[in-house]
Structure 1
Amino acid sequence: MIVFDLVCADGEHRFEGWFGSSEDYADQQARGLLDCPICGSTNIAKAVMAPSLGRKGNQEPVAANPVEQGTEAPGASKPVSNEVAVPAEYKEMLGKLVKAQAEMLAKSEWVGDKFADRARDIHYGDAEEKPIHGTASQEEVSDLAEEGIAALPLPLPVIPPESKN
């Protein structure tokens, strides 16, 4: 995997992109598959990046000179972040969504990768009707839909109970 810093030329938004190789990046760029996660623009280019070079094995690490509080060394750069400020109402909405999903999952049984089979059993009356959640492939979900069995993805990722600390 290779990570490129990317920039959207329309809004000058900076973000990371992970690719299998430089050729994968070039192919996706040529086909117009890259878009800005902030504004949706497809006018994407690689941002200038500093190479990550390790120090020579025969050199001692140089300790950084501490800068006094409130002063800045001449020519020092200021910290830069590509973190997007999230409005308070979005944070509040996400908090409500987290709470609602947690309440729903507390009243539901985890069935793991047996979700499709258990959903069928419940639908056809071979098992007690109760809320369940688990994992299913896209093909399994499509098959359920063709049979008239509703299955919806959870809005937030779920950690399987056996994976929790």
Structure 2
Amino acid sequence: MIRYALRCDERHDFESWFQSASAYDALAGAGRLSCPVCGSDKVSRALMAPALAARGGAAPAGEGGAAEAPAPPPAAPAAGGSSPTEPTRPEVEKALRELRRKVEENADYVGGEFARQARAMHLGDLPQRAIYGDTKPAEARSLLEDGVPVLPLPFRPRRKLS
């Protein structure tokens, strides 16, 4: 097993384990990797520090090819000694993953049919249900102007319909 530090085209950093370097290459070549934060399938390996053997020649525990980067220092407290109220990057990424999970579990992905289906549901031509998908900005504006309740998602769908 090998662990790679990965980064998407939106600059989200994450890690994943692979059976081998060739397994990573096969998955990446087939477009089967995606960012857990935004869903982008433009993922590449990020710069990694090599794992260094500890005294006695043993590799650090739990390491399979990359050394753990040191954790950033905790944020300095705001003036007056209170803790900052802004969420940390890991908290934001965790919330985005949870939102993605809930959307994918409770809504149907309709791809490029989103605007048409949302409008049809609003007009009563289709039964109401939770959907998400892709639309052009002009179509989204048109839906909003017509009173169709839509919101942009803070991530891209993981899959595309053929």
TM-score class normalised by the smaller sequence: 0.3 to 0.5
Could you say which structure has the greater relative contact order, defined with CA pairs below 8 angstroms and 6 or more residues apart? 2
Q: So what's the TM-score if we normalise by structure 2? A: 0.44
Q: So what's the TM-score if we normalise by structure 1? A: 0.43
